[in-house]
């Protein structure tokens, strides 16, 4: 099948590449000439495990190409994915300008029937706005399909290639059958393709992310209560996760969630509820809890060292909002660093993949180092914000020599507290009793 994907951000690039890898002819379109030129050379603008190899392979086999020429891509393709960004507006609602702008451009250039697929995350009712935009700009027949993505950064290739489910929203029987055919190679193991109306498909995406965000904030609140009662959140989490109605995923407490999806999708759903006169009180609380949780690690640092943090140096391991990505959007590390800088601290930071993006945000206000242990040299303490694998088994003897004070603030509960005690460190984690050495 001949496919065009408009937008080469995270979702668009993964979608186009994975479709090409199963044999479809895919053209990825973007208005950014510099970005397209980079992609044509095989220079991938985001870090996602396995993506670069797939892009290069499918370019070499002439199944994947990149262009700024939307008109040509529309003419050559039967299925047109809209995969542009929907950033939050000032009021928290999703900004649909890019989505509707692409729809308008498609309508102005199409000369035969097309299947227009909304892959961008959009609020319920957005497909109808896309349909109206197309109807205003063309008399050529078209079908609008809602096809939300459920990709985890760091595991996006596997998520697309082996989806739990594929959601297709629409009313055109021929377009729905074409979408089933498009996705059939990815569901050979029996995972379902779920067909529904457009609005239900749009709501499915928001409901899924809202539920996952809710689980995270719920567990963070339980963790904070555990600290105040002396309970161990690890034992609590493991036990409740054994209940088949609950399960273990997304029950790990931490320093708050970030990224491109959960924050903006929760905000957008809250805004949608307000517009319809139906306040989403649980999700409003989820947002509040997450905002508060991003400050928990800072409060532990301040409690340990005292009110005056001026001239303290804190080493930070992990900048991206989660491992296996370079995404800094809404990253908890940014909240921690800003709070430390406001208190007069010096910060030395390391991340395996997110250093360039962090520099673009923080500039020269902090020190960036080439290796994780370099950040610890002369630091008063170590804060761990992202759970990269390379942080899980540190050389504690080396840390003793580098740190001025043997104290670790672990925002991801990477270590066993008793093991850290044996190594001679004071240790603060989330939802567990602290290890405080006299």
| Residues with active-site annotation | 261
Q: Please tell me the distance from the alpha carbon of residue 225 to that of residue 206, in angstroms, as a whole number.
A: 28
Residue 105's contacts (CB-CB under 8 Å, 6 or more residues apart) are 70
Contact 219, 253 (CB under 8 A): yes
- With residue 75 as reference, give the H or E element that holds it: helix 70-76
Which residue pairs from 39-46 have beta carbons closer than 8 angstroms and sit at least 24 positions apart in sequence? 39/8, 39/13, 39/66, 40/65, 40/66, 44/13, 45/8, 46/9, 46/10, 46/13, 46/325, 46/326, 46/327
- Beta bridge pairs of residue 142: 114
- Between CA 409 and CA 155, with CA 289 as vertex, the angle to 5 degrees is 70
Three-class SS state of 112: coil
Three-class SS state of 344: coil
Helices (H), 91-232: 97-109, 126-137, 156-161, 173-183, 198-229
Residue 346's closest CA among 361, 366, 364, 371?
A: 366
Residue 33's contacts (CB-CB under 8 Å, 6 or more residues apart) are 68
Other CB atoms within 10 Å distance of the CB of residue 185:
14
What are the phi and psi torsion angles at 323 (to 5°)?
A: -70, 165
Pairing of strands 114-118, 193-196: unpaired
Burial readout 317-340 (b: 16 or more C-beta within 10 A, e: otherwise):
bbbbbbbbbbbbbbbbbbbbbebb
What are the strands, taking DSSP E only, across 22-121? Answer: 25-29, 64-67, 79-82, 114-118
Residue found by looking up tokens 């095989």 in the block:
42
Q: At what angle do helices 332-342 and 355-362 cross, to 10 degrees?
A: 40
Q: Please tell me the distance from the alpha carbon of residue 119 to that of residue 104, in angstroms, as a whole number.
A: 16
């Amino acid at each position: 099948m001949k496919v065009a994907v408009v937008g080469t951000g995270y979702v668009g690039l993964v979608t186009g590449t994975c479709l090409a890898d199963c044999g479809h002819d895919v053209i990825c379109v973007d208005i950014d000439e510099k970005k397209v030129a980079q992609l044509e050379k095989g220079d991938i603008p985001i870090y996602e495990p396995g993506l670069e190899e797939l892009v290069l392979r499918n370019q070499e086999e002439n199944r994947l190409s990149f262009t700024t020429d939307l008109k040509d891509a529309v003419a050559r393709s039967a299925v047109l994915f809209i995969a542009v960004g929907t950033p939050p507006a000032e009021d928290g609602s999703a900004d649909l300008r890019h989505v509707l702008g692409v729809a308008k451009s498609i309508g102005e250039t199409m000369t035969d029937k097309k299947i227009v697929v909304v892959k961008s995350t959009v609020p319920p009712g957005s497909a109808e706005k896309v349909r109206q935009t197309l109807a205003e700009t063309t008399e050529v027949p078209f079908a609008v399909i809602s096809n939300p993505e459920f990709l985890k950064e760091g595991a996006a290739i596997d998520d697309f290639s082996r989806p739990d489910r594929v959601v297709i929203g629409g009313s055109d029987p021929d377009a729905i059958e074409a979408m089933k055919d498009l996705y059939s190679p990815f569901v050979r193991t029996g995972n379902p393709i779920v067909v529904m109306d457009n609005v239900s498909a749009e709501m499915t995406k928001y409901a899924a992310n809202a539920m996952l965000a809710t689980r995270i904030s719920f567990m963070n609140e339980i963790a904070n209560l555990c600290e105040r009662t002396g309970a161990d959140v690890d034992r609590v989490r493991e036990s409740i996760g054994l209940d088949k109605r609950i399960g273990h995923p997304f029950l790990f407490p931490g320093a708050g969630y970030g990224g491109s999806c959960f924050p903006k999708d929760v905000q957008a759903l809250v805004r949608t509820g307000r517009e319809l006169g139906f306040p989403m009180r649980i999700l409003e609380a989820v947002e509040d809890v997450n905002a508060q949780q991003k400050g928990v690690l800072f409060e532990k640092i301040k409690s340990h060292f005292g009110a005056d943090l001026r001239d303290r140096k804190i080493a930070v391991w992990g900048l991206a909002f989660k491992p296996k990505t370079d995404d800094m959007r809404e990253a908890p590390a940014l909240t921690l660093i800003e709070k430390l800088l406001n208190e007069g601290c010096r910060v030395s930071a390391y991340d395996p993949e997110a250093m360039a993006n962090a520099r673009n945000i923080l500039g020269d206000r902090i020190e960036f180092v080439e290796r994780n242990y370099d950040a610890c040299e002369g630091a008063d303490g170590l804060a761990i914000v992202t759970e990269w694998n390379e942080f899980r088994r540190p050389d504690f003897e080396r840390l003793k020599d580098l740190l001025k004070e043997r104290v670790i603030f672990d925002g991801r509960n990477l270590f066993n507290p008793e093991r850290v005690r044996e190594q001679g460190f004071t240790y603060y984690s989330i939802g567990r009793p602290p290890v405080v050495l006299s």
